[in-house]
Amino acid sequence: MSKTPIRAGAIVQARNGSSRFPRKVFAGIAGKPVLWHIIDRLRRCEILDEIIIATSTRQIDREILAYAQGEDVQSFAGSEDDVQSRFLGAADEFHLDVIVRICGDSPFIDPGMIDRLVKEMLKDNGDYAEPDPATPAAYEGMEAVTLKALQKSRQLGDEGPDREHVTRYIRNHAHEFKLVHPKPTESVRGEFRLSVDNQADLRFARAVYEGLYKPGEVFTTHELVEFLRERPEVKKINAHVKQKDTAAKNFHVIFYIASGEKTGDATHLARVLNENWHCGIGFIGDLPADEMRGLRAIGYRARLLKSNNPAKEIDRILKSWKANLVLFKNEKDQKLRVAMQKLGWRVAMQNDSPEKLLKARDE
């Protein structure tokens, strides 16, 4: 009797509700959304039987399901917070034996390395594979795991971070699994930041695609690295951005804009907090329509206040945004600041340093 063929599928983890960059999967690069480029690169893989876009069941993520259908790839909706169950549900629905986990903010994934991860994992009878973490290289946002290993980690892991970060238990308990770490070739080694998690990352990705992308083709990781070595100014675009620690708390900072104030002064601080400190950013207040469109275009939440009772309306918005800190610009807003404090919110002034503002995150 012949052995049943192994079914491998890429599951792309995507949602619209990111606090640091809402709808980033639809951010445009070379005239196409980030998600389109991910799908396009996955289609070049030889090993994959399915491409599945896995999102949440929230209303806001129905757009992602519709997009997947329009691109003629599979989709699955599951838990927003228990991402591991979302992956297991998608694997079950599409009968996968091997899962290739792809981050939805990774427009530089390498089809050849994806094939290599799966092939070497299966050849070595492994449970999990990722590019050798001890050898920095231009690979980001991809890993392979067997369904059996992920099911085992589900049984043994905790109900918090291990379920939010799909393969965390496996990576933290390597003695319980067989891990395979293919070494990147010399030509692609080095320190690079390739995910799109904020506006600096998006500017970087756009600059790379402007230099390398040709419709109907995908540039290789080797070409990417050569380009960045020849154009160090492009690599510098997001060099200041540090990868967020998976154990770090989400911290959402909201700027209050009073009547007559402009958002320009606040956007510099917002950019620093977002790109250097991984904060989610929102603006509320007397916001003209063009300013709201501009803020939303760069990935920030923005809401016009309409009520005669601003404290009550702001309280409702802050709760829906899961805010942590509200920043005011002028001392004339003291009455509203006091009202927000009485409602239990942390408040501060926009002229405080980021370091001082973020002390509240660790309290």
List C-alpha distances in Å: 175 to 101, 131, 168, 171: 21, 18, 13, 9
Span 176-187, mean pLDDT? 96
What average pLDDT does the structure give for the chain?
Answer: 91
Nearest 10 degrees: Cα torsion 143, 145, 149, 150: 70
Report the distance separating Cα 67 and Cα 36, nearest Å. Answer: 9
Q: Is pLDDT of 277 > 70? A: yes
Span 148-153, mean pLDDT? 97
Q: Is pLDDT of 60 > 80? A: yes
Helices 221-230 + 199-212 axis angle, to 10? 100
Q: Is pLDDT of 6 > 50? A: yes
Q: Is pLDDT of 2 > 60? A: no
pLDDT tens-digit series, residues 141-150: 999 999 999 9
User: Minimal CA–CA distance to 95: which of 32, 177, 4, 217?
Assistant: 4
Report the distance separating Cα 320 and Cα 313, nearest Å. Answer: 11
Span 106-110, mean pLDDT? 97
Report the distance separating Cα 25 and Cα 209, nearest Å. Answer: 16
Question: Within the chain, which residue ranges are assigned CATH 3.40.50.620?
Answer: 252-362
Span 108-115, mean pLDDT? 97
Helices 334-342 + 310-321 axis angle, to 10? 50
Report the distance separating Cα 28 and Cα 5, nearest Å. Answer: 38
Report the distance separating Cα 255 and Cα 348, nearest Å. Answer: 10
Report the distance separating Cα 59 and Cα 212, nearest Å. Answer: 36
Q: Is pLDDT of 81 > 70? A: yes
Span 97-122, mean pLDDT? 97
- Token pair, residue 82, equals 């228990």
Q: Is pLDDT of 307 > 80? A: no
Report the distance separating Cα 143 and Cα 28, nearest Å. Answer: 25
Class of domain 252-362: alpha beta
Question: Within the chain, which residue ranges are assigned CATH 3.90.550.10?
Answer: 8-191
Sheet bearing 280-285, strands edge to edge: 301-304, 280-285, 252-257, 325-328, 347-349
pLDDT at 268: 87
pTM across the whole model: 0.84
pLDDT at 309: 79
Non-local (6+) Cβ contacts of 37 within 8 A are 29, 30, 107, 209
pLDDT tens-digit series, residues 113-141: 999 999 999 999 999 999 999 999 999 99
Greatest C-alpha distance within the chain: 81
Q: Is pLDDT of 316 > 90? A: yes
Q: Is pLDDT of 1 > 50? A: no
Domain 8-191 has CATH 3.90.1010.10: no
Instruction: Label residue 330 by pLDDT band (50, 70, 90).
Output: confident
Report the distance separating Cα 208 and Cα 133, nearest Å. Answer: 24
Is residue 12 within 8 Å of 71, Cβ to Cβ? no
Report the distance separating Cα 124 and Cα 177, nearest Å. Answer: 12
Burial (Cβ within 10 Å: 0-12, 13-18, ≥19) of residue 332? exposed
